[in-house]
Amino acid sequence: MQHQWDLIVIGGGPSGLNAASTAAENGLEVMLIDEQKTPGGQIYRKLSVVTAENRFLQADDRKTGLDIINRFFKSGAHYAPETIIWFAEPGRTICSHKGKSREIKSQYMVVATGAMERPVPFAGWTLPGVMGAGASDILYKDASVTPPGPVVIAGNGPLIPLVSSHLLSLGVEIAAILDMAPFTKRLTSLGALPRAMKDMPFLLKGAGMMKKLYLSKIPIVHGVTQIAAHGNQKLASVSCITPRKTLEFEVATLLFHHGVIPRTHMSRMLRLEHAWDSQQRYWYPKTDDRGMSSNEKIYVIGDNAFVHGADVSALKGIIAGIEVSLRLNMISNAEASNQYHAVDKNMNKLLAPRAFVDNWFAPDPKLYKVDDDVIVCRCERVRAGDIRMAVEQGCHEVNEIKIRTRCGMGNCQGRMCGPAVAEIAAEALGTEVPQVGSLKIRPPVRPIPFGQICDVEYIH
Amino acid sequence: MKQHSSSSVVKKVRALFPGKGSRARTQGTQHFDIIIAGGGIIGAAVGYGLARKGCRVAILDAPPIIDRASRSNMGLIWSQSKALGCPEYSRLGFLSSRLFPALGRELLDTSGIDIVYSPSGGIIPCLGEEDFNQRSNYIDGLMAQSGGDYPGIMISRGQLEKMLPKINFGGQVVGGCFCEGDGFVEPLKLLFALRRGMVNLGGSFLNDSRVSSISRDAKGYVLKTAKKVFSCERLVLAGGMGNRQLAAHFDLKVPVQPTRGQVLLTERVGDLLPIPLLGITRTPGGTVMVGFMHENVGMDTGLVPESLAKEANWAVSVWPGIADLRVIRCWSSLRVMPLDGYPVYDTIPGHSNAFLINTHSAVTLAAAHAKTLPDFVLGKGLPPDQQIFGLSRFKNIEVKKA
Amino acid sequence: MKIENKGDKRVTIVFEGIEYRVPEGISVAAAILGHIHADYTSINAITGEQCAPHCLMGVCFDCLVEIDDLPNQQSCMISVKDGMRIKKQMTLVETN
């Protein structure tokens, strides 16, 4: 086993895989650490195992994914699946695999932990039967399992039309699609449409999905401002409010989605600098246009750096791989230029529709203006009212609120409540989210058995 | 979280001392009788005690950029097995312990917050005969020093197992020492209760208020923060490690240094540890905290897995069952340590109305502080046991610059 | 939940004492939701309310179960194995 790797790549999605492949092909000793069993991340989950059965992706998407995965397997990069990193600092990580923790050192790191669904609290969201829309895709990709119908899909984000059309084609009964997008955002995003048309295939794909849904006779309710899940220990119905009416649907599953946000626990643990995007309303690690973070030996790429989708992520991976190879003097400037050439051209085309998409699905800040009795911290059952009371009692920063209310102290380490506690606190203080700070993230970023901490295998 | 309505005690105190008012020295200056720079557990205890006496008191608290010291506190009210050679300190600790039940009731009344104080006693486990003998000799010394008044004894393994029947102790545990004068509390609740109680009793708590300058005038002191000016007759420096910066305004070097503690926190367990073990504490919320290190690393709040492993290994040798619990959080923070380990209670040289307070174990001492330090700040002096802890004892010690 | 592919290789797992044959290589959460059809997988440690998998990608920690006597395992991150014994995570911790 290596004493020190040239590069550790954290995450097995398209960006991480490409970074590892590019660097390994350029001669670096690369280790890719993946918490999953097979490469592909979320979007290409299990693609290398399940072939024709994966009906989600169109043939060319499926080919893209398989090409990325196969390239990785051939590249010479070392693959460490089912491995959880719980400690990381620049230059080294400690990870756990099959009950044993060991230290892994490297000169450079690429962080590619991807995105997660934006967690937005609402009444009843902790009931069994309520899931993120992405969860439905994951269940199908992992196990060919579909959620029990009737299903309601609610929210505002790219997965709404995507997951809806998947379930439609699988014959799942969809009781309604509840569109929670603010109408004004839809109007203003039309301005970005001309530029978006540089990537017509992408736009046509989206339009095609929408057309299928409109023709399907599934009730689509626009202008929904609030939803609530009801049931006794289990989801039984979903109610929604629009400016004109209140509706209720009997359901077995509620899939909700408000876009995706970068997963920042790893980049926070590495003490990288982050910035706040006020349109997308998420924190993201600051990087230059090649992916270098505020630490010159750590690159952050893919949806982990900024949510741009799988195709852009894949290219960012290649760029980071080229960068690290160059900086370790494994390739010359001329070779690097060559490798960049194809990537940069593609990148411009793929980035063209982002302004439109980002605006179309931009979240409404009023999303977080939830009633006092709505649970915000699922793990510790802390409610919005508790957070507002802590603010009133002088806690003006989220870590103060955390120690006052226990919000963020549970198993998920603030992943599900972090955005909401900041938005609610900022709103209560009449200020912007960056002013209230962000939850301090310290190792272990995943719960780890006490005994494993005793017993870490260190490199000497 | 429950919120109690204004209690009868609060109403009575408010009736006796109506209003805060504001006697401006210059336009825009906020005046208080007493200002406390620093709203950690010491500042909050002193502020609470002064508000209880009806004083016009304010705490100016800087934003917590470095986690406050109470964050790495285990919540132990712990006076056992310390201070051989300083009976005054030993007595002070046990006094504070005896005052905690009343403080807890009072804080529930004035703040609505339950500090969850428990007079559980405390146990220090001993691993191996040599450890046991060393500890036993130390306890004998404390017993002699106190004239037979020390509330603790050595216990055998059998006795230990009877006291904590739900714990399967590791093979090396031969026994321990038990002290009935110790207990535990929820340190963050204590902090918030003292602050809230102070405010409910008429005091002021100003957060986001880092003191940037201190100057003297005819009537007392003028303090500036980024946006405001304050004046007072009496000033208390209770900023923990921050006292080094505050005391620089008086050209005074403060004899304290930071000591880093790293803490491991596990998932919740049932009521297995009704009596805390030094280094392994089950909090009232059910999680288990492990930590006992003191590292001199300056102001570095990083976490070092190798150090965590040392603490974890020790814990596993005491209680092997802990190995199966999952660690859900670790953190490190800096505690305050006066250079000789003992408190600093003094006026600033040349300033009979400006006070410097720094201690380690401020959670243990909180009840004593709330009781005795207000009178000290009001110029009425200290009880005999606390009088020996002045600055003059540090004359010969090298003190690091702020 | 509907099951799409019936031709997969299967393994035997035990859930709450009952044996089930489920496809090899799927997550424990998918097995519980799609083949065993349990209403919930755990209770919240503080309130006792029933919880079930929510995000399916390791972020929410609402899918915790006891696997082969080890508590608090994220069922969405672990694949089924032949002979695996799974129980709902029922710890309700008394807090003072």
User: Are A249 and A269 in the same domain?
Assistant: no
C47 contacts in A (CB within 8 Å)?
Answer: 381
What is the SS3 assignment for A94? strand
The pLDDT value given to residue C92: 72
The pLDDT value given to residue A196: 77
Give, for A314, the enclosing helix (H) or strand (E): helix A310-327
User: Are A162 and A67 in the same domain?
Assistant: no
Burial A102-129 (b: 16+ CB within 10 A, else e): bbbebbbbbbbbbbbbbbbbbbbbbbbb
Tell me which of A222, A240, A258 is where a domain ends: A258
Q: What is the CATH number of the domain that holds A97?
A: 3.50.50.60
Q: Return the ∠ at Cα A201 (arms to A200 and A207), rounded to 5°.
A: 85
Antiparallel, parallel or unpaired: β A382-383 and A448-449: unpaired
Residue C95 maps to a domain:
no
User: Are A126 and A247 in the same domain?
Assistant: yes
User: Are A46 and A92 in the same domain?
Assistant: yes
Place of tokens 């490297």: A106
A265 contacts in C (CB within 8 Å)?
Answer: none
Identity of the residue numbered B128 = G
Cα gap A250→A230, rounded to integer Å: 9
Cα gap A268→B72, rounded to integer Å: 21
Q: Which of B118, B267, B270 sits opposite C72 (nearest CB)?
A: B267
Cα gap A360→A183, rounded to integer Å: 9
In chain A, whose CA is at the least distance from the CA of B332? A442
User: Are A284 and A178 in the same domain?
Assistant: no
Residue C81 maps to a domain:
yes
Query: Cα-atom radius of gyration of chain A, to the nearest Å?
Result: 22
Residue C2 maps to a domain:
no
The pLDDT value given to residue A202: 76
Antiparallel, parallel or unpaired: β B76-77 and B183-184: antiparallel
What is the SS3 assignment for A316? helix
Contact B329, A414 (CB under 8 A): no
Contact B195 A394 (CB under 8 A): yes
Cα gap A351→C70, rounded to integer Å: 46
In chain A, whose CA is at the least distance from the CA of C5? A144
Whole domain around residue A324: which residue ranges? Answer: 4-116+261-331
Q: Which of B302, B327, B332 sits opposite A450 (nearest CB)?
A: B327
The pLDDT value given to residue B399: 47
The pLDDT value given to residue A189: 75
Cα gap B47→B370, rounded to integer Å: 8
Contact B312 A450 (CB under 8 A): yes
| Domains: count for chain C | 1
CA within 13 Å, CB half, A220: 16
Residue A346 maps to a domain:
no
Has the ipTM of the complex gone over 0.90? yes
User: Are A124 and A253 in the same domain?
Assistant: yes
Contact B268 C45 (CB under 8 A): yes
The pLDDT value given to residue B11: 61
Residue C20 maps to a domain:
yes
DSSP code of residue A119: P
User: Are A241 and A215 in the same domain?
Assistant: yes
In chain A, whose CA is at the least distance from the CA of C63? A128
- Interchain contact C20–A (C-beta under 8 A): no
Closest to A169 (Cα-Cα) out of A40, A45, A42, A58: A58
Cα gap B90→B364, rounded to integer Å: 11
Chains that touch C (3 or more CB pairs under 8 A): A, B
- Interchain contact C27–A (C-beta under 8 A): yes
DSSP code of residue A209: H
Chains that touch B (3 or more CB pairs under 8 A): A, C
| Domains: count for chain A | 3
Residue C96 maps to a domain:
no
Cα gap B330→B305, rounded to integer Å: 10
- Interchain contact A448–B (C-beta under 8 A): yes
- Interchain contact C44–B (C-beta under 8 A): no
| CA distances in angstroms from C48 to A395, A413, A444, listed in the order given | 29, 20, 26
Contact A314, A65 (CB under 8 A): no
Contact B268 C96 (CB under 8 A): no
Q: What is the CATH number of the domain that holds A420?
A: 1.10.10.1100
Cα gap A367→A226, rounded to integer Å: 8
Q: Using CA atoms in the order B270, B272, B274, B279, what is the torsion angle rounded to 10 degrees?
A: -110
Question: What SS3 string covers chain B?
Answer: CCCCCCCHHHHHHHHHCCCCCCCCCCCCEEEEEEEEECCCHHHHHHHHHHHHCCCCEEEECCCCCCCCHHHHCCCEECCCCCCCCCHHHHHHHHHHHHHHHHHHHHHHHHHCCCCCCECCCEEEEEECHHHHHHHHHHHHHHHHHCCCCCCEEEEEHHHHHHHCCCCCCCCCEEEEEEECCCEECCHHHHHHHHHHHHHHCCCEEECCCCCCEEEEECCEEEEECCCCEEEEEEEEECCHHHHHHHHHCCCCCCCEEEEEEEEEEEEECCCCCCCCECCEEECCCCEEEECCCCECCCCCCCCCHHHHHHHHHHHHHHCHHHHHCEEEEEEEEEEEEECCCCCEEEEECCEEEEEEEECCCCCCCHHHHHHHHHHHHCCCCCCHHHHCCCHHHHCCCCCCCC
Other CB atoms within a 10 A radius of the CB of residue B227 amount to 7
Cα gap A151→A172, rounded to integer Å: 8
What confidence tens digit (pLDDT) does each residue in A175-193 have? 999 999 887 777 777 777 7
Closest to B338 (Cα-Cα) out of B255, B247, B398: B255
Contact B239, B62 (CB under 8 A): yes
| Residues A144, A147, A149, A154, CA torsion sign | negative
The pLDDT value given to residue B264: 94
Residue A366 maps to a domain:
no
Residue C70 maps to a domain:
yes
User: Are A243 and A129 in the same domain?
Assistant: yes
Cα gap A407→B57, rounded to integer Å: 31
Closest-CA distance of chain A to residue B348, Å: 31
Q: Which of B63, B195, B330 sits opposite A443 (nearest CB)?
A: B330
Which stretches of chain A score pLDDT less than 70? 1-2, 50-58
What is the SS3 assignment for A82? coil
Q: Mind giving me the DSSP string for A120-156?
A: ---TTTTSTTEEEHHHHHHHHHHHSB-PPSSEEEEES
User: Are A159 and A286 in the same domain?
Assistant: no
Residue A205 maps to a domain:
yes
Residue C47 maps to a domain:
yes
What is the SS3 assignment for A166? helix
User: Are A106 and A158 in the same domain?
Assistant: no
Q: Which of A87, A389, A396 sits opposite B305 (nearest CB)?
A: A87
Closest to B95 (Cα-Cα) out of B360, B345, B368: B368
Contact A106, A126 (CB under 8 A): no
Closest-CA distance of chain C to residue B75, Å: 14
Give, for A185, the enclosing helix (H) or strand (E): helix A183-189
Whole domain around residue C51: which residue ranges? Answer: 10-88
Place of tokens 């970023």: A445
User: Are A248 and A314 in the same domain?
Assistant: no
Cα gap C55→A313, rounded to integer Å: 22
The mean pLDDT of chain C is 89
The pLDDT value given to residue B64: 73
User: Are A25 and A126 in the same domain?
Assistant: no
Cα gap A161→A182, rounded to integer Å: 16
A382 contacts in C (CB within 8 Å)?
Answer: none
Cα gap B384→B234, rounded to integer Å: 22
Contact B279, B315 (CB under 8 A): yes
As beta bridge partners, residue A383 has: A375
Mutate which of B111, B330, B333 to test chain A, going by most A C-beta atoms within 10 A? B330
Tokens of B38: 């620093």
Q: Which of B285, B312, B331 sits opposite A453 (nearest CB)?
A: B312
Which stretches of chain B score pLDDT less than 50? 1-6, 18-24, 399-402
| Separation of CA A105 from chain center | 26
Residue C21 maps to a domain:
yes
Residue A36 maps to a domain:
yes
Closest-CA distance of chain C to residue B81, Å: 28
Give, for A250, the enclosing helix (H) or strand (E): strand A246-250
Q: What is the CATH number of the domain that holds C43?
A: 3.10.20.740
Contact A8, A102 (CB under 8 A): no
Cα gap B320→A198, rounded to integer Å: 63
| Through-space distance between the first and last CA atoms of chain A, rounded to whole angstroms | 12
Contact C57 A131 (CB under 8 A): no
Residue A233 maps to a domain:
yes
Residue A338 maps to a domain:
no
Contact A148 C46 (CB under 8 A): no
In chain B, whose CA is at the least distance from the CA of A408? B329
Closest-CA distance of chain A to residue B341, Å: 28
What is the SS3 assignment for A386? helix
Give, for C38, the enclosing helix (H) or strand (E): none
The pLDDT value given to residue C96: 38
